[in-house]
Structure 1
Amino acid sequence: MEAWKECKLGDYCDFQNGYAFKSSEFKTNGEYKIVKIKELKDGLVKFFDDSASVDVHDIKEFEKYKIYRNDVLFALTGDPVSKPNPLSWVGRVSIYRSDENALLNQRTCKIKKSDEIDNQFLYYYFRQWENFYALASKATGSASQANISTNTIADTIIKLPPLPTQQKIAAILSSLDDKIELNNKINTNLEQQIEALLLNYLSKRETTSVKLGDYLYIKGRIGWKGLKKNEYLSESNYRIINGETLTKSGIDWNKAGYISEERYTESPEIMLQIGDILLSKDGTIGKIGYVDELELPTSVASGIFVIRNNNPSVISTTFIYYLLKSKLFDSFIIARTEGSVIPHLYQKDFMDFEFPLPSPELMTKFEQTTSPMFNQIINNLKENKKLNFLCDSLLPKLMNGAIEV
């Protein structure tokens, strides 16, 4: 077997910096999406509602800035490693998994295709924590903003296997990522179907206007029982979910903290149970999560409501979950928090939220239709968790040659 060799990355590939587009050129629905630093999120290029785009009259002038599927991009500006969130650090790498027309903006760069290095292999190389940290640590700048250049990346010394081995390693890891992406697409489709059914049922005549608090158990942590940062432990038998743990895509258990038994038992009203729904009530209001598993006894921090279905025979938990994700509830949040310097959803306002409750017959039909779909979503999320763990376990072993391919 041909040996791995240590080499300088810049000896085997080149980089392309982004173009300095003017903000005056940006449009909402232009022909080409603009990939800025903020679009590089957790290893992927992700577009948002406010992502910019442009119309290009002569694409030949911008050919070198075009982004194609499986191109590998870096953020050349970001937070320094002294900041707590690695997802915002400088030097983070992302791969483009889309076929949508896109162009590279300034302070981002992409790896140019090379006959000697597999792009996806390099993506996974810099996804490995030690390599990402090493690159981000070379940044210069201030305490609030750090910068690297393409030369910084090019000067990286990497251990490089022969090209066929690179391709095999990339194929193994990308197959796991492809399955995760497929599960996410299935979940998006299922959620869209459930949301459409919900809106349809809310608009039917056979409904009664009711208040949320009349049907649900809704509790939050009492103010004076709020936890200070120094009360979070590195490890214990009790966990806590805070605002950072509750993401827009659900509960990120990797970010859940640990607390003492005393801090857990002092608030029995917010001890979590399987089937609970969680909702953020401070800062970014409306982030929602569903508790489908509890490996350890768990509580919540001050910025989160615990929502429990007291009347499953009258109202479906799936119905509640997607009601709280609906535009109807979004409008309610905006009406209650608009103009607030520090957005906050009060428990009384939350309990007074009025909505049209479908008749028992319609609710039964909704539950029968959507329950299998919701269970499939949960199962896909669980499978993705296992796939992510497998990928994280294989990554360092494949990258240092410990596993032969």
Structure 2
Amino acid sequence: MEAWRKIRLGDACVTNAGSYSPKDEWKFFNYLDTGNITDNRIDSIQYIDVANDKLPSRARRKVKKNSIVYSTVRPNQRHFGIIKMQPENFLVSTGFTVIDVDVDTLDADFLYYLLTQPTLVEALHAIAEQSTSAYPSIKPSDIENLEIEIPELATQKKIAEILGSLDRKITQNTEVNDNLLQQARALYKDRFIDMRSCDGVLPENWHIGTVSEIIELHDSKRIPLSSRERANLDKIYPYYGATSIMDYVDRYLFDGIYLLLGEDGTVVDSNGFPILQYVEGKFWVNNHAHIITGKNGFSVETLYLLFSLTSVQSIVTGAVQPKISQANLNKVSVIVPSREALGSFDSVIQPIFAQIRNLRAENDRLAAVRDILLPRLMSGELDVSALDI
């Protein structure tokens, strides 16, 4: 550790350096909100045409290549990332602290990994919980005042490359899975939706029914755990909310393959399609998602494809807190194919979803390796100086 030195982070970076001004006169914007990035994975970027849409008041922060975006609200939800590519006229929410490094002192990727260590995230979250704002939040100065130990720049780059190689493989696997899901949706659309558009007549033994005919709801088993309760549990099984994994706990409610569909909060995307999660294995889930399996010939996988292509905007209620109730969900009209047609389709898509599950499992293993290496590399316990990277 002799070659490592302690610095105040604010002395080697700047925060929130660039902001949008009306003088920029952009005609359109690409906007990233805090909830649309988790662990450096972006779910969506909102396109805003100023001629037709109002720019959100929080769309103000400018970023550049290697800017780190770090949500100031509830840091333990891990809404952070590092910008490598960006669309034109890109802004991020003022809910982020944007961090740009002094490249003569810090490698941006090294700093990103340092700031995403669980111990440091929890330390920042502890600061957030002491805040007097409406939500647990940190200030840019809380990040700037962090004291960190860093090696020389060449070593920082080696450490970042080791961790980055694992994350790139995880990203590659995720992209393959996204492509597999797109193919599966196209197959479902061709088999069960487009065929009807020719003459409007359904095949024999098909009918127009409701969701209640094809799903089983397991909502009675949902039991939320508070953040205080979860803080004392070992991190083993995923704890799901409506839209993503919120935490990990040492117990589980379900074991198997299920479909989670958002019940309240963020329940639909910009096109009115429901927020879905296809999950497998042992997990806990809070009370913000419906837990679904299929019946009458519908597998969980077929249900996932059906709902991913079915707008449910018309059944969303609640002006302040959007909600999809069990009763309204069960009333949604759907095409119910014959059991024979469903079985034939299932034989096609099950290998696709098996590959998706395999790649997810590989990603879990890669992430576990990364998470084991991360604190050891960041502390200097593992010496990388002799590595040729």
TM-score of the superposed pair, with normalisation by structure 2 = 0.73
Q: Using a 3 Å threshold, how does the CA distance of structure 1 residues 23 and 349 change in structure 2: closer, same or farther?
A: farther
Q: 2:17: which partner in 1?
A: 17
Say whether 1:166 aligns with 2:149.
no
User: Which residue of 88, 92, 100 corresponds with 2:87?
Assistant: 100
The one-letter code of the counterpart of 2:186 is: A
CA apart distance, 1:6: 2.0
Q: Using a 3 Å threshold, how does the CA distance of structure 1 residues 203 and 86 change in structure 2: closer, same or farther?
A: same
Q: 1:317: which partner in 2?
A: 300
Name the CA distance, whole Å, in 1 between partners of 2:286 and 2:374: 33
The one-letter code of the counterpart of 1:397 is: R
Q: Using a 3 Å threshold, how does the CA distance of structure 1 residues 52 and 11 change in structure 2: closer, same or farther?
A: same
Say whether 1:374 aligns with 2:353.
yes
Name the CA distance, whole Å, in 1 between partners of 2:224 and 2:62: 48
Q: Using a 3 Å threshold, how does the CA distance of structure 1 residues 16 and 342 change in structure 2: closer, same or farther?
A: closer
Say whether 1:73 aligns with 2:69.
yes
Percent identity among equivalent residues?
A: 25
Q: 2:30: which partner in 1?
A: 33
The one-letter code of the counterpart of 1:393 is: I
CA apart distance, 1:404: 1.4
Name the CA distance, whole Å, in 1 between partners of 2:250 and 2:100: 37
User: Which residue of 277, 290, 293 corresponds with 1:289?
Assistant: 277
Say whether 1:217 aligns with 2:216.
yes
Name the CA distance, whole Å, in 2 between partners of 1:175 and 1:336: 44
Q: Where does 1:261-340 land on structure 2 (aligned, <5 Å)?
A: 272-285=254-267, 286-294=274-282, 302-311=287-296, 314-326=297-309, 328=310, 330-331=311-312, 334-338=313-317
Q: Using a 3 Å threshold, how does the CA distance of structure 1 residues 272 and 119 change in structure 2: closer, same or farther?
A: closer
Name the CA distance, whole Å, in 2 between partners of 1:10 and 1:377: 42
Q: 1:127: which partner in 2?
A: 116
Q: 1:203: which partner in 2?
A: 194
Matched residue of 2:207: which SS? strand
CA apart distance, 1:173: 0.6
Name the CA distance, whole Å, in 2 between partners of 1:131 and 1:361: 54
Q: 2:58: which partner in 1?
A: none
Name the CA distance, whole Å, in 1 between partners of 2:303 and 2:76: 34
Deviations 1:125-155 (A, max 9, x none): 1112333455566779633265534x65455
CA apart distance, 1:402: 0.8
Contact 1:240/1:301, CA 8 A, preserved across alignment: no
> Could you list the runs of 5+ residues in structure 1 that have no partner in the other structure?
56-63, 260-270
Q: 1:59: which partner in 2?
A: none
Name the CA distance, whole Å, in 1 between partners of 2:107 and 2:227: 45
Q: Using a 3 Å threshold, how does the CA distance of structure 1 residues 39 and 340 change in structure 2: closer, same or farther?
A: closer
How many equivalent residue pairs?
354
Name the CA distance, whole Å, in 2 between partners of 1:231 and 1:109: 29
CA apart distance, 1:323: 1.0
Deviations 1:268-316 (A, max 9, x none): xxx745233333334444443334212xxx67655544433334xx334
Q: Where does 1:358-397 land on structure 2 (aligned, <5 Å)?
A: 358-360=337-339, 362-397=341-376
Matched residue of 2:257: which SS? coil
Q: Using a 3 Å threshold, how does the CA distance of structure 1 residues 338 and 390 change in structure 2: closer, same or farther?
A: same
Between 1:272-281 and 1:170-179, the stretch displaced more is 272-281
Contact 1:20/1:106, CA 8 A, preserved across alignment: no
Deviations 1:84-135 (A, max 9, x none): x6237xxx75201335335455854331451332111111111123334555
Contact 2:177/2:359, CA 8 A, preserved across alignment: yes
Contact 1:67/1:104, CA 8 A, preserved across alignment: no
CA apart distance, 1:216: 3.5
TM-score of the superposed pair, with normalisation by structure 1 = 0.71
Matched residue of 2:293: which SS? strand
Name the CA distance, whole Å, in 2 between partners of 1:396 and 1:122: 13
Name the CA distance, whole Å, in 1 between partners of 2:355 and 2:23: 42
Say whether 1:87 aligns with 2:77.
yes
Contact 2:67/2:98, CA 8 A, preserved across alignment: no
Matched residue of 2:180: which SS? helix
Name the CA distance, whole Å, in 2 between partners of 1:105 and 1:230: 27
Q: 1:61: which partner in 2?
A: none
